[in-house]
Structure 1
Amino acid sequence: MIIKKNFLGAICLSTAASIWGGMYVASKYVLNYIPPFTLVWLRYAIAFVVLFAVLKTSKKKKENIVKKDWILIGCIGFVGYFISISCQFIGTKLSDAHTGALITSATPVFIVVFARLILKEALTLRKIISLFLAVVGVIIIVGWESNFGSYFLGSMILVLAAITWALLSILVKIASRRLSSLTITTYAILVAFIFTTPLMLWEMQFNDFYYKSILIILGILYLGVISTAGAFFLWNKGMELMDAGIGSLFFFFQPVVGSLLGWALLNEEITINFFLGGSLILTSVLIVCVNEKSSSPKPCEN
């Protein structure tokens, strides 16, 4: 049973991270026509409608959500989906995409730290080695030539984005002890939608947006249904099923898939560094997912 849960968790987390890696292509196109907070607001509106419909039509036993559950869901929505996503946008705008990619790659490190402090998960040597290899892999892929000093404010905001997303992952792990991942994701997105609304209204006073194109509409639907409703649910479900420290490593699939799709769809250059870094990331996952006492692969251990 544990093996099955861990295998399913690995599938959920790697799929979610891969979707976010591919989100870069759709976002880059749609953001040419729709300002960022308005796009986030649209993503959350669409995602909530989709998830709420699934939640209400599902045949699962009705959950008893008490006051402390609502507080926890509110924290997940505010800290993770509102603060973290907003900081990613603002931080990247005040720095650059390269700096953002480097700093965001620190998210799994914060997840492991929070998992140790809050969930009391063991900090094993295999976890430390895996995390180190994965971080090095990301640095090899995106490079180290970044202007942290020149973009100090942007860099600090991006660090906050990484910390809050890590905290989100831990809060989801706690909430999943009582509630389903579908319930958590649905109502947390509603909270984020509510907090994003004032920013969207403010932004609309200074920006116009163009939507009279089937490609733009399809892009928005993809971001709302697949990248938000689907990927957020899969990430939360994966964190429910797996040890948070091990699950955090699957976050590193994001830059790998993003680089691949950027090469395939946007004609971006891909170098030997991609294959070297990608190999280290894959190795880091295998280290914690292969039984030391066996030469054959085995699903991740808690």
Structure 2
Amino acid sequence: MHPKRLPAVTDPRRSAVPSRAVAALVTTAIIWGSMYVVSRLVLDHVSVILLVWLRLVIAAVLLGPWAARWQFWRVSRQQLGLLAVIGLIGYSVSLPLLYLGLAATSAAMASLISSLSPVFIVLLSLMTGQRASMRNVIALLLAFLGVVLIVGINVHHRVSGTGIGALGLAAIAWAMYTVLNQHLKTLALPVVIFWELVFGATALTPWVLVAGAWTSLLHSSLTLWLQILYLGAVAMALAFLLWSYGFAHLTAGQGATFYFIQPLVGTGLSVVVLHETVSVPEIVGGTLIILSTVMATSPLPRRTRFSASRGSRSPSHDR
């Protein structure tokens, strides 16, 4: 007897924005905002590749029983091939590049460049034929301007060309991961994420074994292991499920805007944890991010949408 199928997803352009999808993306952004702080602490003791591999393995182990309920082995060869490609792009490429860039540049610069992902998400979505409302485009631009005001004003550390390049490639890879995942809506989310984690971890396993980075964990403290567990269980397994769920119920233009909440959370944590002051540009930037999120998720009247596949404007009956 087959497990019950997931309920059909209603076209988000024909109804109000689902509140659960909004909550999922906001929660994910908050989790990932805290991830930068925790990752900084862990990377002082663990190498980049080992940390990414540990996160993938922990998440796969936690999601395995859940994916088994949905019979994760019942996927076609075509779906398995796409899952492998997405897993390699999202986990074996994007995450290591993000950490490498974070280590080579300042945290502010890393946050700024990583926030380019939504721009690439929308561009890739338009290239694949999806349509974005002008309101979504304006919201995206407002959010990016908010990010510039928050983190761009605080760039005081060294700037590495290699680090910037790594962060830029990580942003592109993450955008590809997000857009490609929208082609797997017929599969249950636990199945999708589980297979992608497995393929991502498998690709990194030879590097972990050859590098011999395990020695750094032999005398690790309980605090370090708890931090790694948080990054794997919460910032990986839970966050990626929420992120994929949100994008399955929203258009790319709507969902991409929530990515900009991360630097807002990071700034708040720096005030609370590091007792840093907040400047006027940072306050304005945070206001723009919140405004952009409201614009992206509020219901729209009938208006013209732009279609990349048609190359022209057409009347919309969305929402």
TM-score range, shorter chain: 0.7 to 0.9
CA 1:218/1:62 → structure 2, altered by over 3 Å: closer, same or farther?
Answer: closer
The answer for the alignment partner of 2:307 in structure 1 is none
TM norm structure 1: 0.88
Cα separation, 1, equivalents of 2:266 and 2:289: 14
Contact 2:60-2:197 at 8 Å conserved across structures: yes
Contact 1:104-1:159 at 8 Å conserved across structures: yes
Query: Is residue 82 from structure 1 mapped to residue 89 from structure 2 by the alignment?
Result: no
The one of 197, 201, 225 aligned to 1:189 = 197
Cα separation, 2, equivalents of 1:95 and 1:20: 18
The answer for the alignment partner of 1:126 in structure 2 is 135
Matches within 5 A, 1:1-302: 3=15, 6-56=18-68, 58=69, 64-118=74-128, 120-144=129-153, 151-176=160-185, 178-204=186-212, 208-209=216-217, 211-292=219-300
Cα separation, 2, equivalents of 1:149 and 1:268: 20
Cα separation, 1, equivalents of 2:155 and 2:274: 22
Deviation at 1:207, TM superposition (A): 6.6
CA 1:96/1:207 → structure 2, altered by over 3 Å: closer, same or farther?
Answer: farther
Which shifted more, 147-156 or 182-191? Answer: 147-156
Root mean square deviation, CA, Å: 2.5
Deviation at 1:10, TM superposition (A): 1.1
Contact 1:50-1:229 at 8 Å conserved across structures: yes
The answer for the alignment partner of 2:306 in structure 1 is none
**Length, aligned pairs only:** 292
Query: Which ranges of structure 1 fall in alignment gaps of 5 or more residues?
Result: 295-300
Contact 1:14-1:250 at 8 Å conserved across structures: yes
CA 1:30/1:90 → structure 2, altered by over 3 Å: closer, same or farther?
Answer: closer
- Partner amino acid for 2:182? K
Contact 2:17-2:299 at 8 Å conserved across structures: no
TM norm structure 2: 0.84
The answer for the alignment partner of 1:297 in structure 2 is none
SS where residue 123 of structure 1 aligns?
strand
- Partner amino acid for 1:72? L
Contact 1:38-1:204 at 8 Å conserved across structures: no
Cα separation, 1, equivalents of 2:105 and 2:222: 32
Aligned-residue sequence identity (percent) comes to: 31
Cα separation, 2, equivalents of 1:257 and 1:146: 17
Deviation per CA, 1:153-212: give whole Å up to 9, x if none. 321221111011001001111112x21111111110111111121232344359734554
